[in-house]
Amino acid sequence: MRSRIASFILTYVVWLLLSWPPDWQHLVIGVFVSAFVALLTGDLFLARLGLLADPRRLVWALYFIPVFIWECIKANLDVAYRILHPGLPIHPGIVKVKTSLKSEIALTCLANSVTLTPGTMTVDIDSENGFLYIHWINVGATDVETASKIIISRFERILKGVFE
């Protein structure tokens, strides 16, 4: 129940931010939409609600945001360069990377972070063995350790601080 309430509040705050400045119709519709979303998905996303109650985890979570934005900017510029370059210097492929993250939510956040960064996309997660399979626009390394260092190390360290 707590996770549904928290999901409702979070969804409603996002609704208000996206419909700023709110009028009474947006406020009312936002309540209904947020309640519907919380009813359907409240137990999925916030099952470990107390996780961010620890201030250290919250600091790690807040630190993740600018790191993720910076990595996205760098990846966007890299992909734009590859698209605009006359020789189209790409070498696409799927690589296997090793992660030490264990919890499902940490693996999901890592996979989503990789996928949201242009030039990479998570294809599969082998949570039992700690591997992710990632499509990479320009394969820079085929061995697991080097590919892991290049693709996921910048996110993995921070997500470990947040979730584990």
For residue 85, the model assigns a pLDDT of 86
For residue 134, the model assigns a pLDDT of 94
pLDDT surpasses 80 at 2: no
Q: What is the mean pLDDT of residues 121-145?
A: 90
Instruction: Indicate the length of the chain as a whole number.
Output: 164
Residue with structure tokens 């947040």?
162
More confident: 119 or 2:
119
For residue 88, the model assigns a pLDDT of 83
Cα–Cα distance measured from residue 64 to residue 7, given in angstroms and rounded to the nearest whole number: 21
Mean pLDDT of the chain: 86
Give tens-digit pLDDT for 62-90.
899 999 999 999 999 999 998 898 888 88
